[in-house]
Chains A and B, each alone.
Chain A
Amino acid sequence: MIVLQNLIDAVSLGAVYALAALGIGLIFSVMRLINFAHGELIMVGGFTLYTLAGQPLLVMILAALLTSTVLALGMERVAFRTLRKASPATLLISSFAVSYLIQHIVLLAFGSRAMGVAFLPELGTAIDLGGLRIPLLQLVTIAVTLVLMAGLVAFFRLSETGLQMRAAAEDFTMARLVGVKANRVIAFAFAISGVLASIVSFYLVAQTGSVSYKMGVSMVLIAFVSSVIGGMGSIAGAALGGFLVGIVSVSLQAYLPVDLRPYRDAFVFLLFVLFLFWRPDGLLASRADRDRV
């Protein structure tokens, strides 16, 4: 029974990590940018919920989705489009700059203390399922993630734009040579990453009941680790990596000696380092990193 309980914990945490990792992995696959400012897309979604607290639920959700998406498109347009031909290192540094800039704007506007938000408190209750006490939030998280992933798979498989994004992820120059518009697929990737980020913010705010200007930082680190484990450049790999990191985290939480549990994440990162010795390219290494045209 306890095993099953842990499994559900693991899958729901893995689902959140997978959504965050997909946001990072998607952008990397089309433009070789590791977007550390992805955490701020999550954070801004959370602060939109905070600002609109008390409004109808649908208004809060739609506003947060919109804010994160617009911010994602904005950072692409202002910070990353001009640097598209720059090296991945330059792109990475500029994503740190964007990250710190947004964090400190929010710090100036809202202060440094975490602030409470009542967002979907009903999800805090647990329901009985054949002897198991399962928090509703976990079930909703798993369900939402499954729906989103099915939607993404359908988008990539069936739509013209999805096909173009897969082509661009594999060989960006060749995709442009058949007429795929570089600006359009990259903007699309950022828009999707914005939507994914705000959904992660819903989970974080519902779970912790608070927002702070640093709330995206640890999530983006986990997302980055997950997408590396999956294989940078592979969209499916990012999702897989997220689930794996979630499962490992919950297992450590459950089976580490009690006095070591507060250091769970240190063990997660230690295992990550060991993993890199074994598979430096990740599980589903992408062919896209070979030389381009």
Chain B
Amino acid sequence: MLKIRDLHVSYGNIAALRGISLDVGKSEIVAVIGPNGAGKSTLLLAIAGVVRARAGSVEFDGRAITGQQPEALVTTGLSLVPEGRHIFGSLSVAENLRLGATVRRDRQEVARDIDRVLAMFPILRERYRQRANKLSGGEQQMLAIGRAMLARPRLLLLDEPSLGLAPLIVAQIYEAVRALRDQGVTALIVEQNVGRALSAADRTYVLSSGVIAMSGKSAEFAGNAAFDAAYFGVAEAAR
């Protein structure tokens, strides 16, 4: 579904991604883990069209999407939930959700989808008319995911969905991701929470200093010496 080949991204003279190749299959949950500054967020921002690739290609459903604008990519079925959530704090929960459906014209279906999101995250129903900056971090993350869902994406890009949240909330959010997968939504998740990522994802890539250090089935990672070396080794080296 998503095919990335030899992707290079630089900020000025600083190379953030140095030749990433990565695949995500339909209905898969794939995690990208790695230490701070490894380029995980940059990878998602490059896929979503926010930052420009210097070289390499991104294909989504067999079509090259490299260099397209973010607003065009949403219409192809790709939604990013960025790090820090970036909900519209001065707008209400209802307005945030409505904005999620910006690319759609089927109003009645949108209303039904909003109901589905509220059923998935009941706390948002209670806060429906409140300004979004009054929500707690966990509620904001739920809103950000719900907002992304309203575009009816086939591929969901999640950047650090567990960052700064209580374990109970994190469990709830990963529950939602699994439920979405059962509905046929594919997910590419960037995580610092290694345990969470490995238990949720079918396959995992370890990113370090802008290159893929290791990849494979998540189940084979736990207790794997090569993984420990790849992940913790680079984490040590990065210090």
**CB 8 Å contact bits of A256-293 with B (1 = contact, 0 = none):** 00000000000000000000000000000001000001
Assuming A163-B95, A163-B99, A179-B151, what are 13 further A-B pairs, CB within 8 angstroms? A160-B102, A164-B102, A166-B88, A167-B91, A170-B89, A177-B71, A177-B74, A177-B86, A178-B99, A178-B102, A179-B103, A180-B71, A293-B84
Write the chain A residue with the least CB distance to B150. A178
In Å, the complex CA distance between A175 and B151 comes to 13
In the bound complex, what is the Cα–Cα distance between A287 and B89 (angstroms)? 9
**Shortest Cβ distance from residue B206 to the other chain A in the assembled complex, whole angstroms:** 24
Is B50 a contact partner of A177 (Cβ separation < 8 A)? yes
A113 within 8 Å of B (CB atoms): no
* B159, closest chain A residue (CB): A293
Q: Are A164 and B88 in contact (CB under 8 A)?
A: no
Q: Quick check: is B69 within 8 A (CB to CB) of the other chain?
A: yes
Closest A residue to B148 by beta carbon equals A178
Q: Are A177 and B75 in contact (CB under 8 A)?
A: no
Residues in A neighbouring B74, C-beta threshold 8 A: 177-179
Note all chain A residues with C-beta closer than 8 A to B80: 177
What are 17 A-B contacts defined by CB distance under 8 Å?
A: A160-B102, A164-B99, A167-B95, A167-B99, A170-B89, A174-B88, A176-B71, A177-B48, A178-B147, A179-B71, A179-B103, A179-B151, A180-B102, A287-B89, A287-B133, A293-B82, A293-B86
- B161 located at the interface, meaning its Cβ lies under 8 Å from any Cβ of chain A in the complex: no
Q: Is the CB of B90 within 8 A of A287?
A: yes
A182 at interface, CB cutoff 8 A: yes
The 3 closest A-B pairs by CB, nearest first: A179-B103, A179-B74, A179-B102
Interface string of B135-151 (1 = CB under 8 A from A): 00000000000011001
B99 touching A171, Cβ below 8 Å: no
For window 196-234 of chain A, which residues contact chain B by CB distance below 8 Å?
Answer: none
**Chain B residues closer than 8 Å to A180, beta-carbon distance:** 71, 99, 102
Nearest B residue (CB) for A185: B71
Number of A residues near B (Cβ < 8 Å) is: 19
Q: Is the CB of A174 within 8 A of B86?
A: yes
B98 at the interface (CB under 8 A from A): yes
- A180–B100 Cα distance when bound, in Å, is 9
> Given the complex, which residues of A lie within 8 Å of B212, measured CB to CB?
none
Q: Are B88 and A177 in contact, with the CB atoms below 8 A? A: no
Judged by a CB distance under 8 angstroms, whether B56 is at the interface is: no
Residue of A nearest to B41 (CB): A293
The reply to whether the CB of B32 lies closer than 8 angstroms to some CB of chain A is no
**B100: chain A residues within 8 A (beta carbon):** 178
Chain B residues 56 to 96 lying within 8 A of chain A, measured CB to CB, are: 69-71, 74-75, 79-80, 82, 84, 86, 88-91, 95
**Which of A160, A171, A174, A178 is close to B151, meaning CB atoms less than 8 Å apart?**
A178
Residues of B within 8 A of A133 (CB): none
Asked if B45 is an interface residue, CB under 8 A from chain A, the answer is yes
- Does B88 lie within 8 Å of A167, measured CB to CB? yes
Evaluate whether A293 and B98 lie within 8 angstroms (CB atoms) in the complex, with A171-B86, A178-B147, A287-B90 already known. no
Contact status A175-B69, CB under 8 Å = no
Task: Count residues of chain B with CB under 8 A from any CB of chain A.
Answer: 27
- Nearest residue, chain A, Cβ from B51: A293
Give the secondary structure class of A's interface. helix
Chain B interface (Cβ < 8 Å from any Cβ of A): 45, 48, 50, 69-71, 74-75, 79-80, 82, 84, 86, 88-91, 95, 98-100, 102-103, 133, 147-148, 151
| Chain B minimum-CB-distance residue to A286 | B90
What residues of chain B lie closer than 8 Å to A287, measured between beta carbons?
Answer: 89-90, 133
Q: Is A181 positioned at the interface, with any CB of B under 8 Å from its CB?
A: yes
The docked-state distance in angstroms from the alpha carbon of A180 to that of B75 is: 10
For residue B102, which residues in chain A have a CB less than 8 angstroms away from its CB?
A: 160, 164, 178-180
Q: Are B75 and A170 in contact (CB under 8 A)?
A: no
Least Cβ distance of A135 to chain B in Å?
38
Residue of B nearest to A171 (CB): B86
How far, in Å, is A291 (CB) from chain B's closest CB?
9
Nearest-neighbor residue (CB-CB) of B102 within chain A:
A179
A253 close to B (CB within 8 Å): no
Q: How far is the CB of B43 from chain A (nearest CB, A)?
A: 14
- Minimum C-beta distance from B87 to chain A (A): 8
CA distance A175 to B98 in the complex (A): 12
Q: Does A173 lie within 8 Å of B70, measured CB to CB?
A: yes
What A residues does B71 contact at CB under 8 A?
Answer: 176-177, 179-182
Q: Which B residues are CB-close (under 8 A) to A175?
A: 88, 99
**Chain A, residue nearest B48 (CB):** A177
Roughly how many angstroms separate A180 CA and B88 CA in the complex, as a whole number?
13
A179 — which chain B residues lie within 8 A by C-beta?
A: 71, 74-75, 102-103, 151
Give the distance to chain A from B217, nearest Cβ to Cβ, in Å: 31
Given contacts A167-B99, A293-B45, is CB(A176)–CB(B70) below 8 Å? yes
Cβ–Cβ < 8 Å partners of A164 in chain B? 99, 102
Residues of A within 8 A of B88 (CB): 166-167, 170-171, 174-175
